[in-house]
Amino acid sequence: MENLKLEKHHKFVIAADGSAASGKTTGARKISRKYGLKFLSSGLLYRYASYQILKYKPKNKISFLKKKFKKLNLKNLKSKDLHTTKISEHTSIIAKEKKVRNILKSFQRKFSDRFNKVCIEGRDIGTIILPKADIKFFFKCDLNTAAKRRFKELRKKNKKVQFLNVKKQLQIRNFRDATRKNSPLLKSPDAVIVDTGKLRKIPQMIKKMSEVVERKIKIKYGS
């Protein structure tokens, strides 16, 4: 593989969707770093919204979030405070709300317009947020492998976490995402599937994604 590069003036957009613990964040982040794309995790945006609501308890949640996202510094998305169980539970609730989703949809589209080269990952990026993305990746993974991955991650923070509980919560989360009324998790017809149940090692995943990216660069820019 040639490891082609994108020039500064090139416009290149990647959308990455997938179920919980499917490896989409890792894959999207690493491919962004490799090709110089600005990376954004929509999941962190929802966690940030939850954190702000729980902390300040605004009377009008929607107008409050509009103000918060107008002046959001992306560095705030790196806070460890966004990864508590309480935040996770609240995030799954507000993610169903259409007005909340519209605020975050607007933020993500403005982010994509602001930079030439971007990669946004989430659950409705290729279908709702960036339907005209140059590349759409859809990550999938069997429940058992996903649960093992998430369990290993959570055990670092809490030794008492139980594997069966993690597996059950993932199953519930994926069902909610796939069946919710507003922006359900769906594979875009033109998305490239990345099955991390089969591509279990990160280098394998990145190799497959890189092949797709470089093929598209050649088609679009003839590099």
pLDDT, tens digit, 9 for 90 and up, residues 105-132? 999 999 999 999 999 999 999 999 999 9
Note the pLDDT of residue 84: 81
Residue 113 has what pLDDT?
Answer: 96
Q: What was the pLDDT predicted at 102?
A: 97
Strand order in the sheet with 135-140: 38-41, 117-122, 12-18, 135-140, 192-195
Residue 97, classed as helix, strand or coil, is coil
Interval 161-177: pLDDT, tens: 899 999 998 998 889 88
Asked whether residue 1 carries a pLDDT value surpassing 90, the answer given is: no
Q: What DSSP letter does each residue of 183-207 carry, written as one string?
A: S-----TTPEEEETTT--SHHHHHH
Tell me the whole-structure pTM to 2 decimals: 0.93
Which residues lie closer than 8 Å to 119 by C-beta, 6 or more apart? 13, 14, 15, 16, 28, 31, 32, 37, 38, 39, 40
d(CA 197, CA 166): 17
Lowest-confidence segment of 90-104, 140-154, 170-184, 205-219 by average pLDDT: 170-184
Question: 86: which residues sit within 8 A by CB, 6+ positions away?
Answer: 54
3-state secondary structure of 170: helix
As a whole number, mean pLDDT of residues 169-195 equals 91
pLDDT value at 3 more than 80: no
Lowest pLDDT segment from 3-12, 15-24, 96-105: 3-12
In this predicted structure, what is the pLDDT of residue 126? 97
CB 77 within 8 A of CB 89: no
pLDDT of residue 223: 60
DSSP state of 112: H
Q: Does CATH place domain 12-221 in 3.40.50.300?
A: yes
Cβ-proximal residues to 201 (8 Å cutoff; 6+ apart), any chain: none
What are the residue ranges spanned by the domains of the chain? 12-221
At residue 147 the predicted structure's pLDDT band, cuts being 50, 70 and 90, is very high
Cα 67–Cα 72–Cα 74 angle in degrees, nearest 5: 165
